[in-house]
């Protein structure tokens, strides 16, 4: 399968980030883990509830969102596990694209850590 390369604008990057955060929220909001398991034994033979599929299909239709979406996924799959989806939704472009830590992000992170 050939994937066309699309350079994300700032708004596309943020929209991709938001899509990933929405998917994570969906997965973190009390979804039945057994229903989502790839192993049929845990699903009692029922079809898998494949939550990621609809989000990935959105990326196929809107490849300009891939960069922002992938940035969130890279963070989570990098052994950090996925943080609260709200953390990703509040990340700013400078924070995600390598600029100095953004003060507003640091304030949000501080509140989240303080609440834990």
In a domain, 21, yes or no: yes
Domain count, the chain: 1
pLDDT of amino acid 60: 93
DSSP 8-class letter at 46: P
Domain span at residue 18? 10-115
Residue 5 lies in a domain: no
Q: Cβ(70)–Cβ(16) under 8 Å? A: yes
Per-residue pLDDT at 18: 92
Residue 92 lies in a domain: yes
Residue 4 lies in a domain: no
Residue 3 lies in a domain: no
Tens place of pLDDT per residue across the chain (116 aa): 454 455 568 889 899 999 998 988 888 786 788 888 788 888 888 888 888 898 999 999 999 999 889 888 887 766 555 556 666 666 666 666 665 444 554 555 455 445 54
Token pair 């989806």: residue: 85
Q: What is the pTM of this model?
A: 0.65
Gyration radius (Cα) of the chain, Å = 16
- In the three-class reduction of DSSP (H, G, I as helix; E, B as strand; rest coil), residue 4 is classed as coil
Contact yes or no for 65/12 (Cβ under 8 A): yes
Residue 96 pLDDT: 61
Backbone angles phi, psi at 47, to 5 degrees: -60, 150
The predicted pLDDT at position 3 comes to 47
Residues 6+ apart with CB under 8 A from 54: none
Q: Look at residue 45 in the predicted model and tell me its pLDDT.
A: 81
Is the residue at 103 inside a domain? yes
Query: Quick one: DSSP state of residue 102?
Result: P
pLDDT of the residue at 58: 94
């Amino acid at each position: 399968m050939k994937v066309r390369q699309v350079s994300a604008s700032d708004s596309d990057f943020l929209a991709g980030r938001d899509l990933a955060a929405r998917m994570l929220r969906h997965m973190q909001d009390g979804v039945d883990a057994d229903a989502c398991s790839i192993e049929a034994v845990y699903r009692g033979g029922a079809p898998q509830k494949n939550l990621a599929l609809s989000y990935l299909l959105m990326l196929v239709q809107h490849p300009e969102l891939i960069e922002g979406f992938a940035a969130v996924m890279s963070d989570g799959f990098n052994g950090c596990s996925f943080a609260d989806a709200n953390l990703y939704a509040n990340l700013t472009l400078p924070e995600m694209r390598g600029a100095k830590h953004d003060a507003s992000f640091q304030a949000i992170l501080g509140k989240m850590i303080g609440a834990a």
